[in-house]
């Protein structure tokens, strides 16, 4: 069906096409996935996942279809980014397809319906099976962004399987400054306190555009802090090797061209943390071989989004099938055995 609909979707503005996709998924379009091969099951930060492939934040900003994404075969779904107060984000147009590069540039700016709306939707699904994480951010006009993150952790804690603290979007001015050592130390302290006695895993999502000293600082602050893992990485400001006419649009670039950069920074973090911290690999995954490369570089879990734009929902099944084949080829009995073997 996707092969038939894709030319029509690509005639539409990218944001409108995305809204139609969410509506279709919410109406149950797409095949229900078969049970996963047991060798794909894994446990990370105390959570059990039927397979290591998740839908990244950005696809379902307002928690409209997390269970539908699980039904399609994802091992987990991450909703958001959610801010304490609703906000419209940046002016349109703000999503640009780079078809020749199988990439997307977005400058959405954390457009979402706010914490209360997302919390109510997740509360309505409370008790249903499946791991659903919430990605939290700060409002653009906030006078205290660290307080915004603490509010997100505190407000979503009862309804999320885990929470991701997103300090790596390039589309909110100044947000990436929270990756600096001193600010990150303050932020980590605040979100750990906001979590309270809950055993809720907390992840921090970082950018791919980091220098070696940044990686060392982040790893030093996070390791042993109580943060349960790092998500690597968000979109990039780099434009190396792009050929599409939209390549010069402002915003963060995702998709196939990000694979090499994001995997290299993932490997750097694996080494910097000594393998002591779970890592989630994101960026450029469009095949089972890509997912496997992330896992071998140090990712316990992987996430994708832009690949679906170009390959459709069959990509989920294809990645899992190829992961099983590659794991068996290399003599691994479980996906966890392959984590970090190339780091």
CATH of the domain at 201: 3.20.20.70
With contact defined as beta carbons under 8 Å apart, do 280 and 135 qualify? no
**pLDDT above 80 (res 342):** yes
Residue 308 in any domain: the answer is yes
Domain that holds residue 250: 2-336
246 annotated as a binding-site residue: no
Please indicate whether residue 169 is annotated as part of the active site: yes
297 annotated as a binding-site residue: no
Give me the phi and psi of 81, to 5 degrees please. Answer: -80, 135
Alpha-carbon distance of 69 to 67, in angstroms, equals: 5
Question: Can you read off the two tokens belonging to residue 67?
Answer: 């269970």
**pLDDT above 70 (res 1):** no
> What pLDDT shows up at residue 279?
98
Residue 341 in any domain: the answer is no
- pLDDT band of 2, cuts 50, 70, 90: low
**pLDDT above 80 (res 323):** yes
Q: How big is the chain, counted in residues?
A: 343
Determine how β-strand 279-282 pairs with β-strand 229-232. Answer: parallel
Total number of domains constituting the chain? 1
Q: Which residues pair with 110 in a beta bridge?
A: none
- Burial of 322 (C-beta count, 10 Å sphere; 0-12/13-18/19+): middle
Q: Which residues pair with 277 in a beta bridge?
A: none
With contact defined as beta carbons under 8 Å apart, do 40 and 320 qualify? yes
133 annotated as a binding-site residue: no
Q: How many other CB atoms are found less than 10 A from the CB of residue 177?
A: 12
- Indicate the angle between helix axes 259-272 and 212-222, nearest 10 degrees: 50
57 annotated as a binding-site residue: yes
Pick the catalytic residue from 161, 169, 287, 300: 169
- pLDDT band of 314, cuts 50, 70, 90: very high
The average pLDDT across 210-235 equals 95
Residue 247 in any domain: the answer is yes
42 annotated as a binding-site residue: no
Question: Can you read off the two tokens belonging to residue 9?
Answer: 């979707």
Question: Can you read off the two tokens belonging to residue 88?
Answer: 């419209």
110 annotated as a binding-site residue: yes
């Amino acid at each position: 069906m996707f092969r038939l609909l894709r030319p029509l979707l690509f005639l539409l503005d990218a944001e409108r096409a995305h809204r139609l996709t969410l509506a279709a998924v919410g109406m149950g379009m797409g095949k229900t996935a078969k049970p996963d091969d047991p060798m794909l099951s894994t446990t990370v930060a105390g959570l059990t996942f039927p397979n290591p492939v998740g839908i990244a934040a950005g696809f379902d900003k307002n928690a409209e279809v997390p269970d539908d994404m699980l039904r399609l075969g994802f091992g987990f779904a991450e909703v958001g980014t959610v801010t304490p107060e609703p906000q419209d984000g940046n002016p349109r147009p703000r999503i640009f397809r780079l078809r020749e590069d199988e990439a997307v540039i977005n400058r959405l700016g954390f457009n979402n319906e706010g914490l209360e709306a997302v919390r109510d939707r997740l509360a309505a699904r409370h008790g249903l099976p499946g791991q659903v994480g919430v990605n939290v951010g700060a409002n653009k006009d906030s006078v205290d962004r660290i307080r915004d993150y603490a509010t997100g952790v505190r407000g979503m804690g009862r309804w999320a399987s885990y929470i991701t603290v997103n300090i790596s979007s390039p589309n909110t001015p100044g947000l990436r400054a929270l990756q600096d050592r001193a600010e990150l130390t303050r932020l980590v302290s605040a979100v750990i306190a906001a979590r309270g006695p809950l055993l809720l895993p907390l992840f921090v999502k970082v950018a791919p555009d980091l220098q070696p000293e940044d990686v060392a600082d982040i790893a030093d602050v996070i390791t042993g802090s109580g943060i349960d893992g790092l998500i690597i990485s968000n979109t990039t400001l780099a434009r190396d090797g792009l050929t599409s006419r939209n390549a010069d649009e402002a915003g963060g670039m995702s998709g196939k061209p990000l694979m090499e950069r994001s995997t290299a920074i993932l490997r750097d973090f694996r080494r910097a943390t000594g393998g002591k911290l779970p890592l989630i690999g994101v960026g450029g995954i469009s095949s089972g071989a890509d997912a496997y490369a992330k896992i071998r570089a140090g990712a316990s879990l992987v996430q994708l989004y832009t690949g679906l734009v170009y390959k459709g929902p069959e990509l989920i099944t294809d990645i899992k099938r190829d992961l099983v084949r590659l794991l068996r080829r290399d003599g691994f009995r479980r996906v966890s055995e392959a984590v970090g073997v190339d780091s």
